[in-house]
Structure 1
């Protein structure tokens, strides 16, 4: 019922948004003298603010059509190279001829697979992460599909299916791939790799990096961790799971709606978001186009959310946040126990942010404890000062400090891991 009410409200606001857009357009038209007055700019700013906070934001574009290598522009095309109902594997394919010309050689770059979160936002949230690796890596990323877009006849999708998808994609890319799990996918990705290690799978990756991941949420618990433990399982099942209404392709599927996840994110830092929108309004009134554009760019991404399947969301709540199964050694994958101690020759890097309020310090580092049989020579840990959760994988400090450390680790420790096999 809540989902239907949300959709009805969105549809009911359509004429008001149209009116706001018309008002803004007319006031900013070059022929309208009122647009140059304080009153005109204020009305136009109010109209744009109203439209922006009542709009549904669709899946953003990647907007990564080029990269720069040795001062030369190299074209980039995002291509789907593997696909299933719940995920597409996207390869950011660089123009071969331009790449060879920029490098003056045909040297192959290492492959990196970014396992994007399936936690409400689209994979495009990692646009900056991908962009930082494009000049010197063959970049792939998991592009998870909005549950409201998956027809109900495609069946269920849970945490075990997620791990199975990750294993299939690693197998496709081969043993020299470097796997990077950002936030939520840490536990299922570690589980998938542990199974590959136990099977002595020849396609097991050269390295694995976990960034701000809830490997063991008992350590430095944050507000979301405490909420997940304080509320009983039935509370999540009864209050946060709703049915997708028609005419969505996934109509009648039970999901955790993206708009509820977004509400949770916003409430964690409500004052900050209110201030940001007030500043956006004042920037528009003052004619500060650059600052206003930065706001649009951030919130066009941040406000674009997707639904999660009921079984995936609830299993994540129980296995990761309430029963800590991977950390406790009780995690199973389709009835088979998952044992990270089986990992002996896959290099491990953990990255955390000093001010992370989603995954506290120590939660990601727990991967080192679980991978008990991994030699010290194949381990590395880094805590980045002065960054929060999103700063772990995006922004200036990521580009200047974290990304270079990741690349050096992959190049050196990944090579050592492959030679040890």
Structure 2
């Protein structure tokens, strides 16, 4: 019923949005004398903001057509190298045939979060890694587009997907997990280590992930603990309606997750749209477009399968199974202490209001048998959750550490003599 109300609301407001779009274009038409007046610009700005916030955005494109390697432009081709019903393994293939010296760069699998937004939210992460790495990413598929006959998808399935992708890519692959996937990534690596599989990753970087939400709990964590699993199933789970391909699939709708994100920083979002309105009135199209582009990405949301959402709530936020030592995958115990061949880097943001400080660093305590020279922690000052993997601080301060860590482990995995590791600072050294 919840989904049907949302669809009805969207259908009801669509004619108003079309009318507003036509009005906006007329108010900005050079042949209209009102377009040169303050009231005309203000009216156009109001209609522009209205069409923007009431639109429903589909999956964005990565749009990464090229990168620069050793000062030369290198075209990028997106290719799907492995596909499952709920995820595609996407490769950003660098066309380096024209380079005199072919790069021998580390192979990196970026595991994007499955938490309401599309994998394109990590566009900046991918773009920063491309010049120095062979990059793959998990491109999650909107659950409302997956027909029911293709089966279910839960947290166990997520862990299984990661292991399948690692086996497909082969040995000496490096993992980067951004936020939500930190737990399933750590679980997948633990299971592969327990089985002493040859395709265990050379390193894993966990960034802003809820490994142990008992550490420094945020408002998100507290809200989860205020309700039992039945409450969430009763109040936020719905069935996909027609005409979507996944009709009758039980999902946690993306618009519910978006509403939660927006409510956490409502004043900030209101201020951003007010600024956008002001820029439009003043004719500052560049600043208005920057706001518009960000929100076109932010407002593009996807549904998650109900079983994945509910199992994640139970395992990660309610019962803390991984740090408590009770997590199982298809009945098999998950034991991070088995990890001895995969180096670990954890990254946290000082101002992260979604994953509190200490929650990601907790992974070091779980990987108790990992040698000290294969672990590192970095706390980035002055950034919130989004800044851990995107923006200026990510590009200038966080990514160089991540790249250096991966490069050192890659050299060791390939049997290459690498330069001595830099001494760990107080914030970098893992406990």
TM-score tier, shorter chain, comes to over 0.9
Please list the CA deviations of residues 160-218 of structure 1 after superposition, one character each: whole Å capped at 9, or x if unmatched.
00000010001111111110010000101100011111111001111000000000000
Does the CA-based 8 Å contact 1:241-1:257 persist in structure 2? yes
Q: Which residue of 2 is the match for residue 377 of structure 1?
A: 373
1:147 aligns with one of 121, 127, 143: 143
Residue of structure 2 equivalent to 1:62: 62
Aligned to 2:427: none
Aligned to 1:10: 10
- The residue number in structure 1 matching 2:38 is 38
Partner of residue 160, structure 1: 156
CA distance in 2, matches of 1:170, 1:28: 52
Aligned to 2:121: 125
Q: Which aligned pairs between 1:293-304 and structure 2 lie closer than 5 A?
A: 293-304=289-300
How far apart are the structure 2 equivalents of 1:322 and 1:165?
Answer: 24
What is the CA–CA distance in structure 2 between the aligned matches of 1:19 and 1:125, rounded to whole Å?
Answer: 31
Structure 2 residue ranges without an equivalent (≥5): 417-431
3-state secondary structure, aligned to 1:280: helix
Q: Which residue of 1 aligns with 2:386?
A: 390
Q: What does the per-residue CA deviation read over 1:114-135, in whole Å, with 9 as the maximum and x for residues that have no partner?
A: 0000000000000000000111
Structure 1 residue 416 displacement after superposition: 3.3
Of 225, 230, 233, which aligns to 1:234? 230
Q: Distance in 1 between matches of 2:226 and 2:346?
A: 28
Shift in Å, 1:345? 1.4
Post-superposition Cα deviations, 1:244-275, rounded to whole Å, max 9, x if no partner, equal 10010001011000000000000000000001
Q: Deviations over 1:281-334 (max 9, x none)?
A: 111001111110110111010000000000000000000000000010000000
| Root-mean-square deviation (Å) | 1.1
TM-score normalised over the length of structure 2: 0.95
Residue pairs, 1:201-220, within 5 angstroms:
201-220=197-216
Post-superposition CA distance 1:360-384 (Å, at most 9, x none): 0100001100000000010000000
**For 1:379 and 1:110, how far apart are their aligned partners in 2?**
18
Checking the alignment, whether the CA contact within 8 Å between 1:207 and 1:417 is kept in structure 2 is: no
Distance 1:7 1:78 in 2: 33
Q: Unpaired runs of 5+ in structure 1? A: none
Equivalent residue for 2:403, pick from 403, 407, 410: 407
Paired with 1:286 and 1:273, the residues of 2 have a C-alpha distance of 20
Structure 1 partner of 2:421:
none
| Residue in 1 that maps onto 2:77 | 77
- 1:419 CA drift (Å): 5.2
CA distance in 2, matches of 1:418, 1:324: 36
What's the counterpart of residue 96 of structure 1? Answer: 96
CA distance in 2, matches of 1:346, 1:14: 51
Structure 2 Cα separation of the partners of residues 199 and 157 of structure 1: 24
Q: 2:318 aligns with which of 312, 316, 322?
A: 322
* Whole-angstrom distance in 2 between the partners of 1:180 and 1:62: 18
Residue 71 of structure 1: CA displacement?
Answer: 2.6
Counterpart of 2:176 in 1: which secondary structure? strand
TM-score for both structures, normalised by structure 1: 0.97
Tell me the equivalent position of 1:282.
278
